[in-house]
């Protein structure tokens, strides 16, 4: 009897081993090779797939080399920040790379790519300028790394606009999210299958932060939902609008029509990326470039003083800042917060004559198209806001070649938020300060969650009227 039991157990183990062995073989070898063959037949090029590791070794080496040293001041930042630069250079504009067994297809041909918040922005900007005034109070000018101040400004603004009366708790959530982002970026640079499941110190901290963030958001949501259900809702912040809209959808169409609790929590976590990283990146590169191009700084300040005078900026005022809008578009062209847009294809997809297999990670290299001299002219790598003097459409010359916030139905919903907040902050900075690059500034653009200055943004600030 025992012999039969052990024989059956052995057979079950053998079947399970065969099933999981086949799944592993398919995931780690057969499927990647099939996807590679399909892309090569359509003119894509890249290195042959290597079992489990893919191009991970080269990716790690390129990333480390790029970040190991700063560069001379130049807007030609692609080789430093864009890891797909070498594959495109070596294999052409339609190529692929391997992140372990995960296939990433890079398509860089442009023809294949088709008022309540203002008080919060104003308060956050005033808080930052008060800190600067305190530092400059005795001298009238000083050297300052503005990067951490701009990060606090945008974090403060999104905390106020996203969570309103729960502002302090919201700020704590965003601080945790920032810490979490740092861990995730570092671990992503080393691709080892299953690494995130190991009980390392970093992985334990990642799980702790995730639990704390979810618990904090859930606590805020539960309090808000009780208020909404009692009929006393006041949708004066992003979370309130989201919850009330979701509550109404469920009331009208049943519980299956609204967002789940998990989806609401994920949206709150997304507020951090969309509302903080994008705006702080835009502001810091704007200040750096205006420190280098003082003529444009002067023009922008003159416009601010003419449009705003001594009044508090209104929505209408900010929309009349044409020169600042041109400057922002040019900064976003040269230094887009997200240097590429990625999507995972869940079903086999056709783009003109190309057929991409399900499971492919598709990358649209924003920064390559933004710096392409065949699209933007010989001065593509130069700072020239005048190219946007007649608007974005005219500047693109009929090609879909400018998309700092993505495009189509999946365009970043935070783009208007980011532009409005950035206009408010820059207008107030220009009214009170002039600034220039410090000799200690080190030019080292670095792609973390967004494009950031690796060694900070050291500028010399001068208090106007001092």
pLDDT value of residue 113: 45
Give, in order, the Cα–Cα distances in Å from 434 to each of 62, 120, 206, 453. 38, 24, 41, 20
Helix, strand or coil, per DSSP, at residue 466: coil
pLDDT value of residue 114: 43
Q: Across the beta sheet with 102-107, what order do the strands follow?
A: 94-99, 102-107, 361-364, 341-344
Confirm if 275 and 417 have CB atoms less than 8 A apart: yes
What is the model's pTM?
Answer: 0.77
Is 13 annotated to bind a ligand? Reply is no
Residue boundaries of the structural domains of the chain: 35-114+117-463
pLDDT value of residue 97: 84
Q: What is the CATH number of domain 35-114+117-463?
A: 1.10.630.10
Question: Is the dihedral angle over the CA atoms 276, 279, 285, 288 positive or is it negative?
Answer: negative
Q: Which residues of the chain have pLDDT under 70?
A: 1-3, 5-9, 107-117, 164-167, 185-196, 231-238, 245, 249, 252-259, 271-275, 398, 406-414, 466
pLDDT value of residue 264: 74
Integer Cα distance of 101 and 129 in angstroms: 49
pLDDT value of residue 236: 63
Q: What is the DSSP string of 86-139?
A: HHHHHH-SEEEEEETTEEEEEE--GGG----SHHHHHHHHHHHHHHHHHHHTTT
């Amino acid at each position: 009897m025992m012999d039969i039991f052990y024989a059956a157990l052995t057979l079950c183990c053998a079947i399970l081993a065969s099933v999981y062995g086949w799944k592993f073989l398919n995931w780690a070898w057969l499927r990647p090779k099939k996807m590679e063959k399909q892309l090569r037949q359509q003119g894509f090029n890249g290195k042959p797939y290597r079992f489990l590791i893919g191009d991970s070794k080269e990716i790690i080496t390129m990333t480390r080399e790029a970040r190991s040293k700063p560069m001379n001041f130049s807007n030609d930042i692609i080789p430093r920040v864009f890891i797909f630069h070498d594959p495109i250079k070596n294999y052409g504009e339609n190529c692929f790379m391997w992140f372990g067994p995960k296939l990433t297809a890079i398509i860089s041909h442009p023809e294949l790519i088709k008022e309540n918040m203002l008080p919060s922005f104003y308060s956050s900007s005033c808080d930052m300028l008060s800190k600067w005034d305190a530092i400059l109070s005795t001298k009238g000018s000083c050297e300052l790394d503005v990067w951490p101040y701009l990060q606090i400004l945008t974090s403060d603004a999104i905390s106020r606009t996203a969570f309103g009366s729960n502002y302090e708790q919201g700020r704590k959530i965003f601080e945790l999210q920032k810490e979490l982002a740092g861990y995730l970026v570092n671990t992503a640079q080393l691709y080892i299958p299953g690494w995130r499941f190991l009980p390392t110190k970093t992985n334990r901290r990642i799980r702790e932060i995730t639990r704390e963030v979810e618990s904090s958001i859930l606590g805020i949501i539960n309090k808000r939902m009780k208020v909404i259900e009692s009929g006393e809702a006041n949708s004066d912040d992003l979370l309130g609008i989201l919850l009330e809209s979701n509550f109404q959808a469920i009331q009208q169409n049943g519980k299956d029509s609204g967002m789940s609790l998990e989806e609401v929590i994920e949206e709150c976590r997304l507020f951090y990326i969309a509302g903080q990283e994008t705006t702080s990146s835009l502001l810091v590169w704007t200040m750096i470039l205006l420190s280098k191009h003082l003529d444009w700084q002067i023009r922008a300040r003159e416009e601010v003083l003419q449009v705003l005078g001594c009044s508090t900026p209104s929505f209408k005022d900010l929309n009349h800042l044409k020169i600042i809008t041109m400057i922002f578009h040019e900064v976003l062209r040269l230094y887009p917060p997200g240097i590429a847009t990625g999507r995972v294809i869940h079903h086999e997809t056709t783009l003109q004559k190309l057929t991409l297999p399900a499971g492919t990670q598709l990358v649209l290299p924003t920064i390559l198209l933004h710096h392409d001299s065949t699209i933007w002219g010989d001065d593509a790598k130069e700072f020239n806001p005048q190219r946007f003097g007649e608007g974005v459409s005219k500047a693109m010359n009929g090609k879909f070649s400018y998309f700092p916030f993505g495009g189509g139905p999946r365009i970043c919903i935070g783009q208007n938020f980011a532009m409005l907040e950035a206009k408010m902050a820059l207008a107030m900075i220009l009214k009170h300060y002039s600034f220039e690059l410090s000799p200690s500034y080190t030019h080292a653009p670095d792609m973390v969650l967004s494009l950031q200055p690796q060694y900070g943004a050291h500028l010399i600030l001068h208090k106007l009227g001092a």
